[in-house]
Structure formats: C-alpha cells, structure tokens
Chain A
Amino acid sequence: MAFDALFQPIEIGKLTIRNRVVSTAHAEVHATDGGMTTERYVRYYEEKAKGGCGLSICGGSSVVSIDSPQGWWSSVNLTTDRIIPHFQNLADAVHQHGGKIMIQITHMGRRSRWDGFDWSTLLSPSGIREPVHRSTCKTIEEEDIWRIVGDFAQAARRAKEGGLDGVELSAVHQHLIDQFWSPRVNKREDEWGGSFENRMRFGMEVLKAVRAEVGDDFVVGMRICGDEFHPDGLSHDDMKQIAAYYDATGQVDFFGVIGSGCDTHNSLANVIPNMSYPPEPFLHLAAGIKEVVGVPVIHAQNIKDPNQASRILEGGYVDLVGMTRAHIADPHLIAKIKMGQVDQIKQCVGANYCIDRQYQGLDVLCIQNAATSREYMGLPHIIEKSDGAKRKVVVVGGGPGGMEAARVAAERGHDVTLFEAAEALGGQITIAAQAPQRDQIAGITRWYQLELARLKVDLRLGTRADEATLLDLRPDIVVLATGGHPFLSQHPQWGYSESPEESLVVSTWDVLNGKVAPGKNVLIYDTICEFSGLSAADYLADKGAKVEIVTDDIKPGAAVGGTTFPTYYRSLYEKEVIMTSDLMLHKVYREGDGLVAVLENEYTGALEERVVDQVVVENGVRPDEALYYALKAQSRNKGQVDLEALYAIQPQPSLSEVGDGFLLFRLGDCTAPRNTHAAIYDALRICKDF
C-alpha cells in the first residue's frame, strides 16, 4: 500500500502515536497573554490533529524558568501553575481528534535577549556572548543550576497535569543544556565542565529530576543536534556519544535530531533549510544517532513530500518524520494522503516566510496558506460550498492573489473565469523563480495550477482583460489582482524610459525574466532590500557578470529573513559579488558605450561614480490601477472593500445587498504593493464568503 510506512502506529514510551508524522517544536509566537496558550494557539494545533497529524510537539523554546525570557517570541510560559488549565484546553482539542501533543521545554541560557521584560541576567556555563542575539550573559552559579533543574521538573509536572502527552527537553539550538555540552561555550573547570561526564552532568540532572517528577507513564524526550558544524563545537561522533550516554539511562523515550548548531547567522540557516537546500540534507546525522540509541528517533529538516517521507521511513533511517513546515503549509496533509488527494496537498516550498517572521518576533504565518494560524478567526482550510446562488466571478490577474481568489471562488461553487496577460500563471512568483536556488518558489504556482484545473476554472492565459471583455461576461463579481510594474520612473535623473533603447536603467524583473540580456559589468541599486535585488545579483553573477549590489539601507538584503539571507550571501560571496551599503543612486548618464552611475553617500553626501554597462534598479512595485478606475464607477460597491468586515473576517456587506451590476474588489499589489502572503490573505478573506 502506498505510503504504508507513514501509517504504521508507533509506541513512544507508553504512548501510541497513530502514524509516523510529527509536527516538531517551533516557536509559534502565538502564546501571548504572559505565555498562556491562547485560543489561536489551541486552534492551530487542533487543525493539525484534525488533519491527521500523529504527534505535535508544540511550544518551541517554552521556558521553565523566569530568567529565560518568555516574551521575545511569546513562547509558552511553564514557570507557573497558571498554565495548567490552558494546557487542558490544548490537550482536549488535540486528543478529541486522535492526535497526541507534547511540549518542548527549555531554559535558553544565553540564547535570548536581556534588554526587555524583566531585564533578565541571561545565563551561560562560561558567560560567553551569543552572536546571533548579541546577548551577553552571566556565568551560571551552582545555585542557579539547581534552581533550573528544579524548574524543569516543575514545568514537566505542569505539562503532565495539563494533560499533555509528554515533554521534549530542548538540548539543541544552543539552549542551556547543550551550552553545557558544547566545549565551544562551556569552558568551566568545575564538576559542570571539562570532561565528558562533567559536561553531561547538567542535562543528566535535568533528565533525572524530570523523570522523578513525572514517573514512567509520561513521555520525556530530548531534542539534540546531529553535528554543530563548528570546528570547536560538537561533532557528529560527539553527538553519538552523547545520545548513547543519555539513552543508556533508559529514561529518554525518544530523540529528536536536528542537523547543525545555530549560534551564528550562517549555521542558523541550516536548521530550517530553505529552498536552496536539497531534500532532507541532514538525514544522515539523524540516522547516525538512530544507530546508537534504542528508542524512536524523530527527524525534521526539509521533509515536505509524502513520497519522500515514506522513502525515509522505508529506508529505516529514522522512526518518525518531522513535517513541520509541511503542516504549516497544509495542516490537512495526512488526510489528503489518506483521501488519495496527494495532488491537492499544498506543499511547503521552503520560502521560510514562517520562520523568518518568527525570528523577528512576529507570529508564524505561511507565505501561501493564509488560513494557517488564523483558524481561530474562522478562516477555513477547507472551503465549504456556498448555499447561495451561483455567481459569475471574473478574476483579472494570475498572480498569487488572483489565483487564490479564483480557487476560493471556485471552491464556493461559482462559475469562475481568470484572465492573465502572460502565457502562464504565477505573476511575480514566476519572476522570482528564475533566480538560482529560488526555483522552488514556483511550487506555489504549481499547486494553484493543479487546483484551478481540478476546480474547472476557465483560464484565459495570454489574454489581457479590458473593460469590454469583462463586462461581456456579465459578471456578478469582478476581482482585480492585476499587480503592478517596477517603479523606475520615480526619479527622472535615473534615466528610465519606456523605450528600451533609450532607458538607462532596467528592472530586476527585466533581468530575471530574461527580457534584457545580462550585462558584463553591472551595478544593481536595491533600495527595497528584499529578495528581488539579491536574486538579480545572484542571477547576473551566475551568468558571468561582474556585479556590485548597492543599497542605501544598512546592508543589501536587509529585509530578507534570517534563514535566507545567509544562503544568498554564501552564493554571492562565492561569485565575488560586491555588496555595498549606505549609497543612494543619484543619477545615471550615458558616456560613450557605457553608463555612469552616480552614487551619493547617505551620511556624508559625498558622490562617487561607477562606470558599468548595465544599471539595474529595484525600487519596488507601482500598482496597475487603470482597469480598476475604468470599472470603479460602474460597480455597485464603487470598488470599496469594507475594512471592518475584512479585518473581522466577516462577509463583505455588499455581497448580501441586492442590486444590479457587479461588485468590484481589488487585492494584492494593484491596491498597494505588499507581498505574496498579503495578496493571498486578501483574496481568501474577501472571497471566502462569495
């Protein structure tokens, strides 16, 4: 039977998990209200259980002690008994759907920030600063150690009393337990440092205290790393020794294994591998741990596809697969496998919008699934068919917003036509996918293509919709998602012209689309600092151009998230792309065969020049509004979106008003330039009530 390996139940300790698929611990940034799990938190995990996920481990970096700050990432607060009733809600919600739920508990040691909330004195075995969070810390004292050991035990008790199925002790990502393990951070010469046994001692005391508190009928696991990838850190062999050492106690019920440490920006990118990584890049490390332990091993890192997951399990590399981002993209992943709807699974593309928001302390959201973590607001993962009349819905624009609008309207049972001027769906996603290492972003489009075909949406590709064509269709609703165009005309001195022969600058779109040939010596001016500038730089360098990317911001790619800018940087530095900050593009002029770009220092006003043969400007998107204004006056609702209803996830009032003519809504970049998620979210919340 296909996917049989996924659906073998497994015992972890005394707990039966219904299948081999786990949503592993990640910071949700939802547990607000002082770290008490909220309705939002509960619904998010309930949805996974409803969708068939076997085990969810919630609460990445949930804290056990008050000096491990909870507030930065709104993680779960296990330092107080107040959490227990909240856990009961969470446990009930997951259990009623047959799922199991555990929580990761930890003390983050030095891996946090001290400059807020209680202004904690962060702790670390030897007081060495952590670079990612720029956090300094105190060298931990013996009294602190015993206090924290006791806090772990109390936190585990709270999880158990709250009805959760287990706890996962975090000894990964350079939290306190593995700060003690790693000689890179632990320079102590007392009984808590130095020798192997001494470095193991803190974690062992935590494990013993927790197990003594919760007894045998509660799962206690450990999440560890497979190799810190630092010459002075823990190697894979060290980690095998550590895993075997703890396993020998018989007190650990499972190990979760993650490849790579993460106390630098570069190693952090490994932990949540983005789309530039191959599938399951660190499986071998988890398999190495499995060799030396006798309990189930969970591994999550770039396992997104049910076939891939089955292959990993069939190969016996690990016992359970973590498909965490896969569940963020589609919490009904398992149900769809079982329904024989594998093609309908919205597959994670590794855009890492989720984790990159999390590292900024923002709630975890999915770039392509606007319902995820908004279940509590009533945003549906499965769109119900409308009870009302069948409407004629015309969508203009086949980018993410338009595709989502067409999908949702078709799921509602309406007759949907979608116009797209280009020959293929995708909009700006298609452009983004042209860059090296970014091709997988096209997976977003691929899913919509399959869904729109399944839903029998009438696709008019290569057709630019005009007013007459639209009105000929006698639509009940028109959704405009026409996007925009690169905004190169903002500063006349840049020399942009609509005539390609005369224009002194080109856009990143032109470059990535192949509309202009790559230059040999290129200056990219990127004031936006998101993906497009770095992608254009990587693309041009890949084609052999000499590239300098200049920004007036603090660094090129400043707005690209923490797990993705490192992979760009690896590629750009390797290709000798020059990255320059603090310079504005003042002017471009032609001189002989070449172009001169005049740059102005943001802080001194000093001018400098670059002589190049191509100037690429990334200055964001200007909305395409012409069609909107052509239709606005004729529409029943004058193109207006009711914001109160929109934000409250209520039906647009105009939908229930009777009258002649059509309703007009616009969304995505043609309203105001934002991102993929914003366009999809607008589309879902407007169209779900059609």
Chain B
Amino acid sequence: MLEILLPILIFAALALAAIGAWRRIRLWRQGRPAEVDLLRGLVAMPRRYLVDLHHVVARDKAMSNTHVATAGGFVAAAMLMILVHGLGLANPVLGGLLLAASALMFVGSLFVARRRRNPPARLSKGPWMRLPKSLMAFSLSVFLSTLPTVGVLPADVGSWILALALVAALAWGLGEMFFGMTWGGPMKHAFAGALHLAFHRRPERFSDKQGGTGRSTGLKALNLEDTSAPLGVETPSDFTWNQLLGFDACVQCGRCEAACPAFAAGQPLNPKKLIQDMVVGMAGGSDAAYAGSPYPGKPVGEHAGEPHGPIVARQGTALVDAETLWSCTTCRACVEECPMMIEHVDAIVDMRRFLTLEHGNTPNKGAEVLDNLIATDNPGGFDPGSRLHWAADLNLPLMADVKQADVLLWLGDGAFDMRNQRTLRALVKVLRAAEVEFAVLGNEERDSGDVARRLGDEATFQSLAGRNIATLAKYRFQRIVTCDPHSFHVLGNEYGELGGNYEVRHHTTFIAELYDADRLAFAPWKGGTVTYHDPCYLGRYNGEYEAPRRVLEALGIQLNEMERSGFRSRCCGGGGGAPITDIPGERRIPDMRMNDVKETGAELVAVGCPQCTAMLEGVVDASAEVRDIAELVADALVARPIADAASPARRPVGKTTAEEVF
C-alpha cells in the first residue's frame, strides 16, 4: 500500500510546494526592482550558506550541530525520498542512505525538541513549538517507511492500520516540510533563506575564496535624481524585492532581540518583530499571529498593514509606529547576530528616509538638528567659523595653506564639543610626538553627514558629502585620520558611492601603526584597572577590534574585557541619531553599558569615539572614568630612545605641551 501512497503523497506535497513557492515569489515581486545577478548569486549560494551563514550559526556550537544534523539530514532525506519512494528506485544503497539521513535528522530533531522544552524568551513560540514534532514525524515516518526497502522488514509487514498511521505521520511531516515551506510555515526560512542568500542585496558582504572577509556596512545611496523613485520606503512594496525576500528568511531565533540595546532598554523596538511586521505587511494582515516578544510597551494585535498601504500612519496606527523606527541606534548588533544575514538597519533607514524626506517628521530634536546641518553644516548649529577655536593655540597647519600633507586630520563635529576637544588635543600631541606630517581642513571641513543620513535625510547627507568631497579633491594627502568612528565610517565606506575614495584610519589604528613603527614610546601604565568599549562604528561597522587593544597593550594595560565586547559590544546609545530622537524607554542604554563596565570592576573605560565618550560620561554616578585612547596615549608619551647614533638628536617631548592645556 505504501508503494502506492507514498509517491502520491510526495508529489502532491511537491506540487503544493511549487504552488506555494509561486505565490510567495509573487509576494516578493511586489517590491521594487533591484539589480541582482541571479545566476552568480545562485552559484555563490552554497558557499554563502556553508561558510558565511555557518560562521554566524556556529557561534552557538550546540545549535549549530543541531542544525547541521536536522537540516543536513532533511535535505539528504528529501532528495533520497523522492528517488526511493517517489520514483521507486528502491535499491538498498539508496535506501540505506535514506535511513541514515532520516536517522540523522531524527537525532537533530530531538535536540530541537529539547531546546523547545524550555525555550529562551528570544525564541518565537506559536507554530515554532510544533516544529520539532513535525521534524520527528517526518524523519521517523520516512525511516520506518524505508526499512522494507533495505529488507530489514518485509514489505508487507504490519497491518494496514499501521501503514495508515505511518502514512498519516508522513503526511504531517511532508506537509510541514514542503507545504509549510512555501505557504508560510516555520520551514519557510529554508526556502526564502536560500534564495535570500543567493539574491542578497549586499553580495559584497560575503567572504570569498581568496580569504577576503567580506564586509558591507555603508548605507546605499538614494538616487535623488530619479523622480519616479520614492524617497525611502512608505509601504512594504517600496522595499526592493530582494529586501522583502530577506525579511521572509527570518527564523525568529531572536538573536537580534537579545542583542538589541533599544529592546533591552525597554524602548519600543524589537528587530525580530520589525522583520515579522514586514512579513505581515507584504502579505497583508494583522500582527496578531506573532508569537514572539512584542515591542516593549506595545501589545501584539493592534497593528496591521498591507503591501501597498503605509507602514507608518500619519495618525493612528498602521503596521509599525514611528517611534519603533526612531529607537534604533543603528548599532548593527542585530545584523551582526542574524544567522540569516538579514539587513535590519538598511530597512529601518529606508523607512526613516520616507518619514524625514516626505513627512518632514523627524521626532524631538531631529528637525532642529537637520535644520542646523542645513544652515551651519554641523548638527549643533555652531558658528561654522568656530570649528578650530579649540586649537587657537596649537598652530595647526591648514590644508588651505600647505595644500598637501601625509595625513589629513579629520576633526569631526567633536571639534565643537569641549569634551572631545580634549581628545583632539591629545591626538595632536601624539601626532606631533611621532612627527607625523599632518594638516587639517579647519573651517573648510563640514559634518560628514552621518547623523543626517541616519536620521533619513539623504538629501542633506549627499549635499554635505558632495561638498566635503569637493573640498578634499583640492588637496593631496596619503590618508585621512580621525578620532570619530562615524566620520571614519562615512568617509571610508559611504563617500565612495558618491565619488570620494580615501584611505581612512581610525586614530587607534594609526597610533598602533606609529607604535609598531617605533615612532612612539610610552611610560609604564600606573593607573588602575581598565576595560575597553568597542564603538559600534569602529567594531561592527569596520571590523577594527584589534588596533585599540594593541595600543592599550602597548601602554602596558591589561584589559578586563566586558562580556559584551568585540563584535558583541553593546552600543553606548549614541548612534543613529538616537540621542536626538530620544525615544523614551524604561532604562537608558548608556546606563546599561556603564553597568557592563562596572561588572568588570574597571576603574577606567577606554573608548575611541566622541559619541561613546559623551554618552558614557553622561551616566550619573558612574563607577569608572571615561577616557579616549588618544588621551591615555598622550599622557603616557615619553621621548623615544634614539635608535642609533646616526639618527639626528630629536627635541625631547616635554612633560607638558600646549596640547595638554585644556
């Protein structure tokens, strides 16, 4: 009986899956066109899956092994099952392999089941809770159905009741695995995920065989010339089709949720829910079926959307509330953690662009900051002629005078901030001690456009970027050095698309290079215990985790690392314009971060970002002092030992110099 029923079942499931797939693809194709090299993507897909995706999944070894067993077992079992039971190629070798595959899958599904017995809060429940049973039903029924094929059991063993039960279990398993895959069940992630990897909007983020690590974190430019294109994303269908496909790949594992600083602070954002809302939106409907953690303070079931309806309502509710979008610090913790390589930050900025550019609705201080940027080229609205006031006594060489220099020191808007001015002065002292030939743009420098861009004001960003690029084009320099990771990121990763290509170094990278080249010498560290806070825009955005640690090591500091450090560093709360849009939560992100610091027992937290410094120093009753690495280096400078007698005597670095004077 099985020989008759199984092929029917299998091909019916495959047919239904094909119909489902066609319907799903239609949903994605509501999105706007995107230039994707389909063929190359498909070819690259296995490597992207096996290397890049696995690299993320493998951070959780147990889960990684579980997935290898379950998914590997399933893919093998499914193919073999089609051959053995669907096409009747009942030879013992194939049968044996099928038995092995289904057994492997069964073992995997036991681990899946075990995880589901006491699932962490970040995992979605709902249909996901039945998945292990479905996996077991499928693998067990395939296994049992295959036993006769290899002659372990006679073909006519058991009664027809037993056969029916087996068929029912198999139907359940097939239904979940094939029908559910394309009709919106938990297994959808496999189908959408594979295609998402193939047609990813950032193919450059994947590693290559030559050993390139792949990194793509710069936001993509809006084409402001194209009057037919929407300014940002108003409705789900304003996303590109491969973005919609990407949302569909979500497995609701909630790793993003666990990493999101806004979620932890009780602000109304949960990256997982946001992606699920986009999935709801592309199909139309309400979020009532969502079975994960909601946006803090926002019950599930009150929001609904449709593919061509607005995501954010001008008044009342639609799919997502604006404050959800404005809670994001663009720290990329979610993107970094996502095993499905979904680009949450891109989506959020796309939607912010619409709110800012079309609605003119940037909350709280947002509008003021953007107005300032438009009027004064800096977010604080300071007199643009005062960018060098902090250095009135330092005689910094101006590019306008010297025309060329080895290093162009990019000041950033911290030049207007009294706290950051100390960092800048320290950095100048370090550069001078290492006899670096550098110059600054001075009042010709404008804000890099980071904040404007992340607040969605692409027009102001492109205006600032265009003028900065034009200014930089007037001068010759080897590289740009900056103490601001945001400037570093924007100049290094986002100006290229607009025609500005530069070699940019974060100051810690540059200082590490100077130290390694014997151009700096340090007195032994006399301070207390130290931890280091990785700035998001240096670490996750640019992969620079080593240089700051290298410099601190050179200073003689042994770090007490925070649990959340390196690529898992917790945001200070200062990115993405979040302090400007200032969406209320239950806690403040910088307070949580200073608690992380406190847990290490460190008396000092070394940072490398003006924004982090400001946020962390704003914490009341903090247990640790906040110092930029440049300041620590400047304090430790001693005269270098003269390398050999032939080298000319150098003026020793004074104990105090003008740069040290605040």
Contact = CB atoms under 8 A, between A and B. Distances in A.
Interface of A: 1-3, 7-9, 16-19, 49-52, 96-99, 334-335, 338-340, 387
Interface in B407-429: 416-419, 421-422
A50 B422 contact: no
19 contacts: A1-B380, A1-B416, A7-B389, A17-B392, A18-B393, A19-B392, A50-B660, A51-B661, A52-B662, A96-B656, A97-B656, A98-B658, A99-B393, A334-B662, A335-B661, A338-B421, A340-B418, A340-B419, A340-B617
A387 B386 CA distance: 42
Contact of B392 (A3, A16, A97, A338): A16
Given A1-B382, A340-B418, A340-B419, A98 B389 contact: no
Category for how many chain B residues contact A: 20 to 34
B286 to A, nearest CB: 48
B662 A339 contact: yes
B394 interface: yes
Contact of A9 (B392, B417, B662): B392
B419 A97 contact: no
Given A1-B418, A97-B656, A338 B662 contact: yes
A8 B393 contact: no
Interface in B605-620: 617
Given A1-B382, A1-B416, A338-B422, A96 B392 contact: no
B526 to A, nearest CB: 8
Given A96-B654, A97-B661, A339-B422, 6 more contacts: A7-B418, A8-B386, A18-B392, A98-B394, A335-B662, A338-B418
A49 B418 CA distance: 18
B657 interface: yes
A255 B510 CA distance: 46
Contacts of A16: 392-393
Contact of B661 (A9, A50, A340): A50
A7 B526 CA distance: 32
B99 to A, nearest CB: 71
Contacts of A96: 654, 656-658
A49 B389 contact: no
Nearest to A335: B662
Nearest to A16: B392
Interface string B370-387: 000000000010100010
Nearest to B417: A1
A18 B386 CA distance: 12
Contacts of A2: 418
Nearest to A2: B418
A7, A98, A387: which has the most chain B beta carbons within 10 Å?
A98
Nearest to A100: B393
Closest 10 CB pairs of A and B: A98-B393, A98-B658, A9-B392, A338-B662, A18-B392, A18-B393, A335-B662, A97-B661, A52-B661, A97-B658
A8 B657 CA distance: 21
Interface of B: 380, 382, 386, 389-390, 392-394, 416-419, 421-422, 526, 617, 654, 656-658, 660-662
B582 to A, nearest CB: 19
Contacts of B661: 49-52, 97-99, 335
Contacts of A19: 392
Contacts of A338: 418, 421-422, 662
Contacts of A97: 393, 656-658, 660-661
A94 B393 CA distance: 11
B44 to A, nearest CB: 51
A52 B380 CA distance: 24
A380 to B, nearest CB: 13
Contact of A8 (B380, B389, B394, B422): B389
B525 to A, nearest CB: 13
Contacts of B654: 96
A375 to B, nearest CB: 12
Contacts of A98: 392-394, 658, 661
Nearest to A332: B662
Contacts of B658: 96-98
Nearest to A387: B526
Contacts of A3: 418
A56 to B, nearest CB: 13
B543 to A, nearest CB: 33
A339 B631 CA distance: 13
Contacts of B417: 1
Contacts of B389: 7-9
A617 B419 CA distance: 54
Contacts of A335: 661-662
B620 to A, nearest CB: 13
A429 B417 CA distance: 39
Contacts of A334: 662
Nearest to B380: A1
Nearest to A334: B662
Contacts of A49: 661
A591 to B, nearest CB: 64
Contacts of B392: 9, 16-19, 98
Nearest to B658: A98
Nearest to A336: B662
A114 B394 CA distance: 46
A339 to B, nearest CB: 6
A8 B35 CA distance: 51
A688 B132 CA distance: 71
A136 B393 CA distance: 46
Contacts of A17: 392
Contacts of B394: 98
A17 B656 CA distance: 19
B192 to A, nearest CB: 50
Nearest to A98: B393
A219 to B, nearest CB: 16
A18 B421 CA distance: 13
Contacts of B421: 338
B656 A50 contact: yes
B534 to A, nearest CB: 24
Interface centre among B392, B419, B656 (most CB of A within 10 A): B392
B127 to A, nearest CB: 54
A387 B525 CA distance: 12
Nearest to B383: A8
Contacts of B662: 52, 334-335, 338-339
A50 B393 CA distance: 12
A97 B659 CA distance: 7
A185 to B, nearest CB: 41
A17 B658 CA distance: 13
Contacts of B386: 8
Contacts of A52: 661-662
A346 B526 CA distance: 27
Nearest to A17: B392
A498 B660 CA distance: 58
Contacts of B660: 50, 97
Contacts of A51: 661
A18 B419 CA distance: 17
A473 B526 CA distance: 29
B210 to A, nearest CB: 49
Q: Output the residue of B416, B422, B654, B658 with the most chain A CB within 10 A.
A: B658
Contacts of B393: 16, 18, 97-99
A98 to B, nearest CB: 3
A9 B385 CA distance: 11
B336 to A, nearest CB: 33
A5 to B, nearest CB: 11
A98 B425 CA distance: 12
Contacts of B418: 1-3, 7, 338, 340
A434 to B, nearest CB: 36
B297 to A, nearest CB: 34
Contacts of A18: 392-393
A48 to B, nearest CB: 10
A8 B418 CA distance: 12
A334 B393 CA distance: 14
A567 to B, nearest CB: 36
